[in-house]
Amino acid sequence: MKSLNTPFCKLLNIEYPIVQAPCGSSTCPELAAEVSNAGGLGMLALSRPNREETSQMISLTKTLTKKPFGVNFVLDEIVIKSRPYEEKLRVCIEEKIPLISFTYGKLTSELIKSIHNSKLLVAFTVWDLEQAIEAVNSGVDVLVAQGIEAGGHLNSKITTKDLTKELVQNFPNIPVLSAGGIATGQQFAEAINNGAQGIWIGTRFLATTESKAHEVYKQKILEAKSSDTEISTLFDIGWSNAPHRTIKNSTYNNWSKAGCPSSGKRPGEGEVIAHRTNGTPIIRYEDTPPIDGMNGDLEALALYAGTSVEYIDKIIPASKVLEELVNGAIETLCTF
């Protein structure tokens, strides 16, 4: 029987190979710490916060857990133009965060060396073999195989299972983590059986008591089936030409009924539909999902979610999610 105690666990000094995937501002210190305290690896998504907020988030997480946790940056050109990452990355290196993860953009050997010099590990989210080869040649330590089922921004053309198998076969010495569509212990066991050294779960952890996803968003995740999610480039204000999987909502359905017109001709463009806690407006088609403290027509915002919504029917503490994943996986592995 395959074990859940994979080499990735030893590498990060964690009990279970379950990573709470970075999910923008829905993820937070309370969620990351709860996951790490329960034996997984919590992650902070640091693309949006500024330098000061980054320091505060890391120090709060460190007060909530003494266990390892990771951080993440989106390196897409459009994103880093408005939200530079270099200073924040320096903070993470000084704070000795054991796993620094990136997605989009290109990882240079220099960037990776600057992290390796402090004996920290680098993960990169990839959606095809070509990208993985480039990442491994640059010195990446962990590959995150993000399949077409994933929630949020994605570029994969193949399933999580197929991508995982392809990467495991090509890089037998690099830990590969499966990302996209996973929410149950049985799927966890299947990923391990396919050669993954762990799982990287986003949407399941959004529907937890600790996540910062707004209650309206959490309810939508509970109600949705996988067929209620769709890949589009609809929520493009802030990050254009970047495909993403969301739950089909009123904004999506009205656009679809209008014949899926291109940007500039869509229904309700420029309309203010919600406000952030600090009072700044959010306009229709922005890339912003509904977070605690926002108000307005929150259902109409970008409801990023994976096909994993199919298996999510209750909001529970993140530690309970881990418990269910581990127990379900052990049960399934026994039957293989």
Ligand X SMILES: Cc1cc2nc3c(=O)[nH]c(=O)nc-3n(C[C@H](O)[C@H](O)[C@H](O)COP(=O)(O)O)c2cc1C
* List of residues contacting ligand X (CB under 6 A): 21-24, 26, 45, 47, 72, 74, 103, 125, 146, 149-152, 179-182, 200-203, 289, 304-306, 308
User: Minimal distance in Å, beta carbon 129 to ligand X?
Assistant: 18
Instruction: Please identify, using beta-carbon distances, which residue of 112 and 257 lies nearer to ligand X.
Output: 112
Q: Tokens representing 298?
A: 């929150």
Using the minimum distance from each CB to ligand X, give the nearer residue, 22 or 195.
Answer: 22
Q: Which CB, 17 or 152, lies closer to ligand X?
A: 152
Burial of 154 from C-beta contacts in 10 A (0-12 / 13-18 / 19+): buried
Residue number with CB closer to ligand X (40 or 181): 181
| Residue 8 · residue 198 · CB < 8 Å | yes
**Considering beta carbons, is residue 26 or 184 the nearer one to ligand X?**
26
Distance of closest approach, residue 277 Cβ to ligand X, in angstroms: 18
Q: Alpha-carbon distance 71 to 91, whole Å? A: 11
Distances (CA, A) of 90 to 55, 115, 116, 118, 164: 10, 9, 13, 11, 31
CB of 259 to ligand X, least distance (A): 27
Measured CA to CA, the distance from residue 204 to residue 227 in angstroms comes to: 16
CB of 201 to ligand X, least distance (A): 5
Q: How far is the CB of 144 from ligand X (least distance, A)?
A: 7
